[in-house]
Amino acid sequence: MRIELVSIGDELLIGQTVNTNASWMGAEFSLRGGNVVYTTVIQDTEKAIIDAVNYAFSRVDVIILTGGLGPTKDDITKYTLCKYFNTELEINTDVLEHVKSFFTARGRGMLEVNTQQAALPKAASILKNEVGTASGMWFERDGKVLISLPGVPYEMKHLMNRWVFDRLADQFSMTAIYHQTLQIQGLGESFLAERIKDIEDEIRASDISLAYLPSPGQLRLRITSEANRENEQKIEQFMAQIENRLPRYVYGRAKDRLNEVVGKLLLDKKATVGTIESCTGGALASEIVAVPGSSAYFEGSFVTYSYDLKSSLAGVKMEDIQKFGAVSEEVVIQMALGGQKTLGVDYCLAASGIAGPGGGTLEKPVGTVWIAIATPNKVIAQKFLFGEHRERNIRKTVLTALNLLRCELLEIR
Amino acid sequence: MRIELVSIGDELLIGQTVNTNASWMGAEFSLRGGNVVYTTVIQDTEKAIIDAVNYAFSRVDVIILTGGLGPTKDDITKYTLCKYFNTELEINTDVLEHVKSFFTARGRGMLEVNTQQAALPKAASILKNEVGTASGMWFERDGKVLISLPGVPYEMKHLMNRWVFDRLADQFSMTAIYHQTLQIQGLGESFLAERIKDIEDEIRASDISLAYLPSPGQLRLRITSEANRENEQKIEQFMAQIENRLPRYVYGRAKDRLNEVVGKLLLDKKATVGTIESCTGGALASEIVAVPGSSAYFEGSFVTYSYDLKSSLAGVKMEDIQKFGAVSEEVVIQMALGGQKTLGVDYCLAASGIAGPGGGTLEKPVGTVWIAIATPNKVIAQKFLFGEHRERNIRKTVLTALNLLRCELLEIR
């Protein structure tokens, strides 16, 4: 099954919106054995849509259009597809009921434009949208399929999961690719390559491919092959080899997120955590809290941005702030211990650094960050030198601190 | 000037990485009058790269390749372009010095693979990468241009800003499109459309286009036309009309971010701010702190996730938590007032809600959020009903709270 994703919208072409829909669908199809061979972005004009659909029908089996189904006047996909498939709109009473109840549940009145969301092409089979008001539409022509979905990511995902994947799997055969990913924190691309050189040579000698995918503060290592039992076993062996060699750095696989990994460890230990943050400004706490159910182990946090609050709330001695500076081993250790006590937690993470762009000195340049962790039986601190970019420094601090916590929970030395 | 962006990397096709490079370049070119007519994503094989370059040379003036320039074995762009342009690699001594000093500055040793970053094609003119170790390359053929850049976003952006835009502007003529964007918080797509129906009709009657771009908790309204003085004046008038009609909701233009807008207002008033957070878990504080220089007005924050900390730190009466629940007007008001006092700030934002997916009840379903703001002379609280999705509920709460603060600072009623 060859698939083309066609995203409609000037906002994508001029970069006001990032095409996350294409990447989500690419990921899902790759796991399910669908083959996305092309992704295009087009303008939201009738001509652009019709040209793109014609061209795509000439080279793939399945076209998935996203975008242009909203209630406002700039949304023309539905009208254009009526023309293309030579059909007309009719009110779908099921959908109309759903749209009405959708507004009622949110305590909002319904507008005339919202009623129009229930007018749908006769020739299409309708994919009911339970999380929004724009229905999906499934057209067929000469054994090929065109699916039109709303561009709002969670509505598109809902429709794909609820209807599209299953119907496509019924209608087409899929040949699968197998891939596995290791999630790595605290080791840069070339340093990882050096540490696993022998394993990498073996992987490549087995006709299996390997890719390094860096992003700020973390790195994914992806191993890919055609899906068959032999390859899957080999890949599993390579993964285990790398995990065993680098336990401080490899924190998970595929879609594991570091905050979820840490959350599970805390749950297992029935331990609680809190944070005392300076340069990260709450980003570390919010990363922990982003996990559903985190209230079982996360107690709370202080963001002590000012010297006064570092002293009054985190219990850091003002004379030490003045003597060593707020970004220092002495201060970050006192923050971690003070937070552990005041928040009443088993583990307390503390971070103090110079995120930038201002505030750097020769001795402590922008990117200097001290991270400490107080555990039930000790406190340790480490210094890092990240870089010049504020947002990335904050992100790297968050991930580094979480990985420190992970290593402490697992007693990895 | 017609441009094709070609992104290299399986990680994009299978959706492990989102193509933010294409959207950033699309945005920049659209402002500068370059016309991105096509964006494609291809695999990182020699054949795929050569086919894509051949095809792109047949239909555009400028090709910008991104990706495949890293130090590891999966990066083959440089070698493939040597074949394509029939040239060979030679060590560039300037680049070699730069790569060495890059590692020295970070206190890390240099590996042999990093030396290879200085081996570059003779036929290319080299675009020096001051923020990384992979150089950009500029090739020419028959008056057309191919530029190869690293896929790491901030390195690509650095090279575009430092070299590429200027050189392209020297070599090609650009016809500009004019667009302006309003940033809106707190008003949904169809409700905004209803409120500005008359203005929208006038805009469309003037052959100017208008697009609604929703994302969780905010909405952008983009107005676009060909660039000429008449259109620019008309668009400016329409923008001002909408801003005057909806001051509670329109918080800025184009790239204005709500946290920056609020930050400027706080600086102007010489006022300070803090937050007391429950469901947002520090996300509100970290959004405020994401602005460089925020230490001038942001003092600190508590994340009081547990009942105990709400009581001991934020000074909420435990009997009120038990009587009204943690997600209630009474509690969120006490949080805001308690935080204002303990943090010693002029303005204190408080949020308590049920982010989900668990924890909802019939009376207080998932998505119920109370937000309060304590100002120098009063405290107000408002209830919101956001939705079912944890991450979006947190994001909506953050933006809604910031907009409440903006309205208070501007005394918009």
* Residues A307-322: tens digit of each pLDDT: 888 888 888 999 999 9
pLDDT value of residue A226:
82
Phi, psi of A45 (to 5 degrees): -120, 155
Strand partners, B382: B371
CB pair distance less than 8 Å for A16 and B222: yes
Residues in A 75-94 with any Cβ partner in B closer than 8 A: none
What's the whole-model pTM score? Answer: 0.76
How is A256-323 classified by DSSP, letter by letter?
A: --HHHHHHHHHHHHT--EEEEESTTTTHHHHHHHTSTTGGGTEEEEEEE-SHHHHHHTT---HHHHHH
Could you report the per-residue pLDDT of A373-397, keeping only the tens digit for each? 999 999 999 999 998 889 999 999 9
Identify which of A15, A193, A275 has the shortest CB distance to residue B26.
Answer: A15
A12 chain-B contacts, CB cut-off 8 A: 23, 26
B25 and A10 within 8 Å at the Cβ level: the answer is no
pLDDT band at A271 (very low <50, low <70, confident <90, very high): very high
Q: What is the dihedral of CA B237, B241, B246, B252, to 10 degrees?
A: 10
Comparing A27 with A233, the larger pLDDT belongs to A233
- Give the gap in angstroms from C-alpha B369 to the nearest C-alpha of chain A: 13
Can you give the residue ranges of every domain in chain A?
A: 2-171, 178-253, 258-409
Q: For chains A and B, count residue pairs whose Cβ atoms are closer than 8 Å.
A: 289
Q: What share of chain B is helix, strand, coil (3-state, %, to 5)?
A: 45, 25, 30
Q: What is the pLDDT, as a whole number, of residue A214? A: 82
User: Which pLDDT belongs to residue A45?
Assistant: 86
- With beta carbons less than 8 A apart as the criterion, state whether B275 and B397 touch: no
Q: Is the minimum CB–CB distance between A385 and chain B shorter than 8 Å? A: yes
| 3-state per-residue secondary structure call for B3-57 | EEEEEECHHHHCCCCCCHHHHHHHHHHHHHCCEEEEEEEECCCHHHHHHHHHHHH
Asked if A224 reaches chain B (Cβ–Cβ under 8 Å), the answer is yes
Cα distance between residue A243 and residue B51, in whole Å: 37
Per CATH, the homologous superfamily of domain A178-253 is Ribosomal protein S10 (3.30.70.600)
Q: Residue A27: pLDDT above 80?
A: yes
CATH superfamily of B177-253: Ribosomal protein S10 (3.30.70.600)
B-interface mutation test, from A7, A13, A133, most B Cβ less than 10 A away = A13
B 86-145 → A contacts, CB under 8 A: 106-108, 111, 113-114, 131
Q: Inform me whether the pLDDT recorded for A254 exceeds 90.
A: no
Q: Determine the distance in angstroms separating the CA of B344 from the nearest CA of chain A, rounded to an integer.
A: 9
3-state SS track over A107-149: CCCCCHHHHHHHEEECCCEEECCCCCCCCEEEEEECCEEEEEE
Are A309 and B281 a contacting pair at CB < 8 A? no
Residues with Cβ < 8 Å from A88, sequence gap 6 or more?
A: A82, A121, A122
The shortest CB-CB distance from A25 to any of B15, B286, B343 is to B15
Q: In this predicted structure, what is the pLDDT of residue B32? A: 80
Task: Please state the rounded mean pLDDT for residues A9-32.
Answer: 85
pLDDT higher at B178 or A137: A137
Quick one: pLDDT at residue A175?
66
Q: Across-strand partners of B38?
A: B4
Give me the residue from B193, B290, B304 closest to A300, CB to CB. Answer: B304
A-facing residues of B in 330-359 (CB < 8 A) are 342-344, 356-358
Of A152, A161, A116, A151, nearest in space to A42 by CA:
A151
Per the CB < 8 A criterion, the answer to whether A359 and A327 are in contact is: no
What average pLDDT score do residues A18-30 get? 89
Closest CA to B403 of B252, B271, B188: B252
Q: Which of B303, B335, B396 to mutate to test the interface with A (most CBs of A within 10 A)?
A: B303
Helices first, then strands: H and E counts in chain A: 17, 17
- pLDDT given at position A71: 82
Using an 8 Å CB-CB cutoff, list chain B residues near A111: 190-191, 193-194
- Minimum mean pLDDT range among A74-83, A340-349, B210-219: B210-219
The nearest alpha carbon in chain B to A114 belongs to B190
Contact call for A114 and B190, based on CB within 8 A: yes
Q: Which residue has the tokens 């336990």?
A: A247
Taking only the tens place, the pLDDT of each residue in B257-305 is: 999 999 999 999 999 999 999 999 999 999 999 999 999 999 999 999 8
Q: What is the distance in angstroms between the Cα of A54 and the nearest Cα belonging to chain B?
A: 17
CA of A32: which chain B residue's CA is closest?
B14
Chain A touched by B294 (CB under 8 Å): yes
Whether the ipTM is more than 0.85: the answer is no
Assess A152–B contact: CB distance below 8 Å, yes or no. yes
Neighbours of A160 (CB within 10 A): 23
What are the residues whose beta carbons fall under 8 Å from the beta carbon of A197, sequence distance 6 or more?
none
Q: List the one residue out of B128, B140, B100, B139 whose CA is nearest residue B116.
A: B100
Contact B286 A282 (CB under 8 A): yes
Structure tokens at A243: 């995990």
Average pLDDT, chain B: 91
Interchain contact, A14 vs B26, CB within 8 Å:
yes
pLDDT of residue B238: 95
- Residue A308, sorted as left (phi over 0), alpha (psi -120 to 50) or beta, turns out to be alpha
Q: Does the structure show a pLDDT above 80 at A26?
A: yes
CB contact under 8 A, A277 and B282: yes
The yes-or-no answer to whether B2-171 and B258-410 have a common fold is: no
Closest C-alpha to B186, from B214, B228, B163, B157: B214
pLDDT value at residue B327: 95
Predicted pLDDT at A348: 98
Q: Which residues of B touch A102 (CB under 8 A)?
A: none
In this structure, CATH architecture of domain B258-410: Alpha-Beta Complex (3.90)
Give the whole-angstrom CA distance, residue B286 versus residue B349: 13
The residues pairing with B112 across neighbouring beta strands, listed in sequence order, are none
Write out the two tokens for B168: 């392209």
Note the CATH architecture for domain A2-171: 3-Layer(aba) Sandwich (3.40)
- Decide if domain A258-409 falls under CATH 3.40.50.300: no
Q: In which residue ranges of chain B is pLDDT below 50?
A: none
